Amino acid sequence: MSGSYISTTWSGDDIETVKRLRDEGVLTNEQIADRLGHSPSSLSTLISKLRLARRAMPKPKAEPSSDAKRRKCLRCPEMFDSEWAGNRLCSACQQHAHRMGPGFDEPYRIGSRR
């Protein structure tokens, strides 16, 4: 249907469908409007009038990191399987750094993973 809008008024069923689809969090507002035969701006107005909370769009599922590979620890000669590009300490050195307290591994950290 994309871009071809049929209705300018919202039925009770349409409003319930909007609420349900927004709660599911799978479709964008544009996709919801298109599915129901309304313009995106009409849907935005409806959302505002109903005082529906803003929602974060679902993030795409992350692909397995291509940064995972075998690396040499920066503190010892150990080779280890690094899970991401900023992971540069082997597990033994990470445990040692953890016991030493916050900031101990800062000189060896390449990036942060949140």
| Domain extents in the chain | 1-60, 69-108
CATH of the domain spanning 1-60, picked from 3.40.30, 3.30.70, 2.60.40, 1.10.10: 1.10.10
Is the distance from CB of 29 to CB of 43 less than 8 angstroms? yes
- Residue 82's φ and ψ, nearest 5 degrees, are -85, 135
Structure tokens at 33: 């409007």
Q: Can you tell me the distance from the alpha carbon of 19 to that of 25, in angstroms, rounded to the nearest whole number?
A: 10
Which tens digits make up the pLDDT trace of 49-89? 888 777 665 555 555 556 788 999 999 999 999 888 888 88
Rounded to the nearest 10 degrees, how much is the dihedral formed by the CA atoms of 52, 53, 54, 59? -110
pTM over 0.75: no
What does residue 14 show for φ and ψ, rounded to 5 degrees? -60, -45
